[in-house]
Amino acid sequence: MTHHLRSAVVLGAGTMGAQIAAHLANAGIPALLLDVTADAAAAGLARARALKPDPFMVPEAAALIRTGSLDDLAPLAAADWIIEAIVEDLAIKQALLARVDAVRAPHAVVSSNTSGIPLAAIAEGRSEGFRRHWIGTHFFNPPRYLRLVELITTADTGPDVAARVQHWLDQLLGKGVVPARDTPAFIANHLGMFGVMRLLDVVADGSATIEEVDAITGPATGRPKSATFRTVDIAGLDILAKVAAGLSVRLPREDDRRAFAPPAFVAGMLERKLIGDKAGQGFYKKTREGGDTKILTLDLASFTYRDKQPARLPELEVARGITDTGARVRDLFLGDHKTGMLLRRTLGPTLLYAARIAADIAHDIDDIDRAMRWGFGWDLGPFELWDAIGVDAVLKAMRVTERPALLQGRDRFRDQGLPPAAPDLLILQTAREQRKVVQHNDGASLIDLGDGVLCVEFHSKMNAIGGDTIAMLHAGVREAEANFTALVVGNDAPHFSAGANLMLLLLEAQEGNWDEVDMMIRAFQGATMALKTAAVPVVVAPGGLALGGGCELSLHGDRVQAAAETYMGLVEVGVGLIPAGGGTKEMLLRAPSAQAAFETIGFGKVSTSGPDARRLGYLRDADRITMNRERLITDAKAMALTLARAGYQPPVRRAAIPVGGPSAFATLSLGVHLAWRAGRLSDHDAVIGRKLAWILTGGNVPHATTLSEDQILELEREAFLSLCAEAKTQERIAYTLKTGKTLRN
């Protein structure tokens, strides 16, 4: 059976339907978006285009979506995949799908985004061919950013159909696919909702404040910064209440149904429309006072808002020193303090519940852990947490005398961590676990990926580039040239690299150690040029942040295999500098003009996605994008091998790069001056702008001419060193290190 997906139809242009269509378009798949009327479908698409964060990776992707009315289903005959995302009403779904059954192509897959109605019930009465091609595809909101899709088959679903849809979701849409049983709320919402209900209980009885719960259930315990109540505000309390209501009715056991009855204050909030961000108020409310934004917190007794109170939990400050998430959660869970008590009242029952219902909701505990990681951004799933805290330790802390069946005879669930969902996912993690580390230091490692491909993996904080990283890049090139056929530079971390180690640079600059700074620049330029001129093909694989030096490394690879969610940019101007690791040189080589390169660097443009990085010139036509982040190193390795097998010849250093000379410098400098006069640039911005213009136009050349790569690198070094000596540059660096923001001084 063919795996090709040439076109799709989404039925329903609500929040989810429109965003699913948007993500199909992100993957280059034409989509038809239908609603009750053509106007309603167009309005749904317009709402999606206005959403933040943006469901589209680039604005032009929206051109792949057509809109229309559910009155005309004739176009469905040409679709390979039809996705139902209409109102959660069984009769309405069945009526629409009866019409779909009459027009769909025999090979077309029909899937539902439902999470509240049994899949088998929706397909009752449909033809045998329809039921064979019927499957559940439960996307999480927002579909572009949350990786999880729960895949639910029925007794009639063809195995080849399930395999086809899994392929589309994984390889084309970049999703983490988790098979789930056809049970109420499937896996992630079921367990996630159980945990949220326990947290609602502790604020309802006064055991904890809203702020305390959010302090505990954020990064301290390996959860997103939005923690619990901020997440509920984003998702909508009305949605949460609807999911809980469904579970409280549809679960088979009475005790389980009771566990999803929310405390009384939830009804009060719903009645007053305190449902979250879409209503402008929920557990939190933003206000403006004197031009400043202020966050207020809901008082659950009076339903009025009060000043946000700090969570005074000193044990959380102590726990911050524990870098390993599992060890930190274990320490907090077992601790004799308020956080420990609250975790034993909330996380403890959630772990026990997950162990008891695992076989009912999933085919494997690995799928449960992946669902919670991919759907809710947990660092560790429930069974990873069981192992981190210790099965016996959890049971003792919870005073459980009778073990759930799943815990009988075991003191842990896995000897190693959660395995990849497929052999070709997270291949770098697998190679590391198989002890294929060739060399390592504190900043990076060399890892054998097999088939003659070596990988340089960064693992410093935020993968910042310092001396250790640079040393390992040089070592990687040498090792690859001697013993391998290709080199990949990449990692499995959330971010490829946030750039150079600014703290080290600032300390040297403040001490006036200019020889040290010069050596740092030369070492980094040496590393980027070593990648560019290596005797073996080099593929750089960025994902997440690839800023400053991280972007410069990418620019020097033979090819870039970028994750779809790559935020790439030369942002040095924001800290009072210019790109000096060859980034200015590379943008001059690839931008259509010196003016275009000047604007990209001068404005510190950062891509909003991998496709957007191509638009900005950070990626070239030959570079490729991987939708599934866990497949990134696999794809980079395949690209590297393709280059090697094609008879790779390393590029030579460019000897004649055209530069515009004094007249081009005058043009760029005039633009800087006019922007300064108009108040768009500060005095120091203007200084940086002129330095950048000086490099891009060739420096002290008498007329338009050509320069070598080495000559332009020398111009970069000179400008970088002179800017490091500027007090205002040092102020910018210090401010960014302290706040994470940019200072316009």
Q: In this predicted model, what pLDDT tens digit does every residue of 502-531 receive, in sequence order? A: 999 999 999 999 999 999 999 999 999 999
Domain end among 180, 208, 230: 180
CA-nearest of 476, 535, 222 to 372 is 222
CA-nearest of 533, 518, 432 to 474 is 533
Residues whose CB falls within 8 Å of the CB of residue 3, separated by 6 or more in sequence, listed in order: 164, 167, 168
- The SS3 call for residue 403 is coil
CATH of the domain at 218: 1.10.1040.50
Q: What does the DSSP assignment read for 71-140?
A: T--GGGGG-SEEEE---S-HHHHHHHHHHHHHHS-TT-EEEE--SSS-HHHHTTT--HHHHHTEEEEEE-
CATH of the domain at 541: 3.90.226.10
Q: From residue 25, give the alpha-carbon distance in Å to each of 31, 246, 566, 610.
A: 7, 32, 17, 14
- What per-residue confidence (pLDDT) applies to 375? 96
Residue 316 and residue 335 in contact, taking contact as beta carbons nearer than 8 Å: no
Bridge partners of residue 595, in order along the sequence:
none
CA-nearest of 470, 472, 478, 424 to 449 is 424
Q: From residue 685, give the alpha-carbon distance in Å to each of 174, 344, 506, 577, 726.
A: 40, 53, 19, 10, 12
- What per-residue confidence (pLDDT) applies to 1? 46
* Distance separating alpha carbons of residues 130 and 132, to the nearest angstrom: 5
Residue 602 and residue 574 in contact, taking contact as beta carbons nearer than 8 Å: no
583 domain-assigned = no
- The SS3 call for residue 737 is helix
Taking 60 as the threshold, does the pLDDT of residue 31 lie above it?
yes
497 domain-assigned = yes
Q: From residue 397, give the alpha-carbon distance in Å to each of 386, 403, 561.
A: 12, 13, 47
CA-nearest of 622, 600, 619, 601 to 610 is 619
Residues whose CB falls within 8 Å of the CB of residue 645, separated by 6 or more in sequence, listed in order: none
My answer on whether 175 and 275 are in the same domain is no
Q: Which of 209-218, 412-421, 476-485 shows the lowest mean pLDDT across its residues? A: 412-421
My answer on whether 725 and 627 are in the same domain is no
- What per-residue confidence (pLDDT) applies to 83? 98
Residues 44-63: what's their mean pLDDT?
96
φ and ψ of 562, to 5 deg: -100, 145
Residues whose CB falls within 8 Å of the CB of residue 72, separated by 6 or more in sequence, listed in order: none
Bridge partners of residue 69, in order along the sequence:
35
Residues whose CB falls within 8 Å of the CB of residue 646, separated by 6 or more in sequence, listed in order: none
Nearest-Å Rg of the Cα atoms of the chain is 28
CATH of the domain at 89: 3.40.50.720
My answer on whether 348 and 449 are in the same domain is no
204-260: per-residue pLDDT in tens? 999 999 999 999 999 999 999 999 999 999 999 999 999 999 999 999 999 999 999
CA-nearest of 189, 234, 227 to 210 is 227
245-294: per-residue pLDDT in tens? 999 999 999 999 999 999 999 999 999 999 999 999 999 999 988 778 89
Count other Cβ atoms within 10 Å, centred on residue 417: 13
My answer on whether 675 and 634 are in the same domain is no
Domain end among 147, 180, 213: 180
* Distance separating alpha carbons of residues 241 and 235, to the nearest angstrom: 11
Print the SS3 string covering 554-604.
HHCCCEEEEECCEEEECCHHHHCCCCCCCHHHHHHHHCCCHHHHHHHHHCC
- What per-residue confidence (pLDDT) applies to 3? 65
* Distance separating alpha carbons of residues 194 and 256, to the nearest angstrom: 9
My answer on whether 175 and 195 are in the same domain is no
Residues 75-100: what's their mean pLDDT?
97
Confidence label for 2 from pLDDT (cuts 50, 70 and 90): low
- What per-residue confidence (pLDDT) applies to 138? 98
Confidence label for 125 from pLDDT (cuts 50, 70 and 90): very high
CA-nearest of 152, 140, 183, 188 to 369 is 188
- What per-residue confidence (pLDDT) applies to 134? 98
Query: Considering the chain, what percentage of its residues have pLDDT values greater than 90?
Result: 97
Domain of 512 in residue numbering reads as 427-571+606-645
Bridge partners of residue 201, in order along the sequence:
none
- What per-residue confidence (pLDDT) applies to 288? 87
* Distance separating alpha carbons of residues 653 and 533, to the nearest angstrom: 7
Confidence label for 116 from pLDDT (cuts 50, 70 and 90): confident
Q: Does an H or E element contain 84, and which?
A: strand 81-84
Confidence label for 679 from pLDDT (cuts 50, 70 and 90): very high
CA-nearest of 508, 524, 502, 497 to 577 is 502
My answer on whether 54 and 192 are in the same domain is no
651 domain-assigned = no
* Distance separating alpha carbons of residues 660 and 596, to the nearest angstrom: 13
Output the average pLDDT for the chain.
Answer: 96
246 domain-assigned = yes
φ and ψ of 64, to 5 deg: -80, -5
Q: From residue 528, give the alpha-carbon distance in Å to each of 463, 551, 728.
A: 16, 11, 28
Query: Considering the chain, what percentage of its residues have pLDDT values greater than 70?
Result: 100
My answer on whether 192 and 156 are in the same domain is no
Could you say which DSSP state residue 179 is in? E
418 domain-assigned = no
Residue 221 and residue 343 in contact, taking contact as beta carbons nearer than 8 Å: yes
CA-nearest of 710, 655, 672, 657 to 595 is 672
540 domain-assigned = yes
117 domain-assigned = yes
Q: At 144, which amino acid appears?
A: R
State both tokens at 714.
């020398």
My answer on whether 127 and 172 are in the same domain is yes
* Distance separating alpha carbons of residues 513 and 427, to the nearest angstrom: 42
- HSE-CB at 347 with a 13 A cutoff on CA atoms is 30
557 domain-assigned = yes
Residues 146-158: what's their mean pLDDT?
97
Taking 50 as the threshold, does the pLDDT of residue 150 lie above it?
yes
φ and ψ of 260, to 5 deg: -105, 15
State both tokens at 25.
């378009």
φ and ψ of 439, to 5 deg: -165, 150
User: How many domains would you assign to the chain?
Assistant: 4
- What per-residue confidence (pLDDT) applies to 216? 98
Taking 90 as the threshold, does the pLDDT of residue 669 lie above it?
yes
Q: What does the DSSP assignment read for 13-29?
A: -SHHHHHHHHHHHHTT-
CA-nearest of 375, 310, 346 to 145 is 375
My answer on whether 450 and 487 are in the same domain is yes
How many helices and strands (H and E) does the chain possess?
A: 31, 22
Residues 90-114: what's their mean pLDDT?
97
My answer on whether 255 and 162 are in the same domain is no
Residues 6-35: what's their mean pLDDT?
97
The full length of the chain comes to 745
* Distance separating alpha carbons of residues 589 and 666, to the nearest angstrom: 20
My answer on whether 120 and 224 are in the same domain is no
Strands 8-11 and 81-84: parallel
* Distance separating alpha carbons of residues 539 and 531, to the nearest angstrom: 9
Residue 495 and residue 544 in contact, taking contact as beta carbons nearer than 8 Å: yes
- What per-residue confidence (pLDDT) applies to 115? 87
Domain end among 590, 620, 645: 645
Question: The pTM is what?
Answer: 0.94
My answer on whether 171 and 198 are in the same domain is no
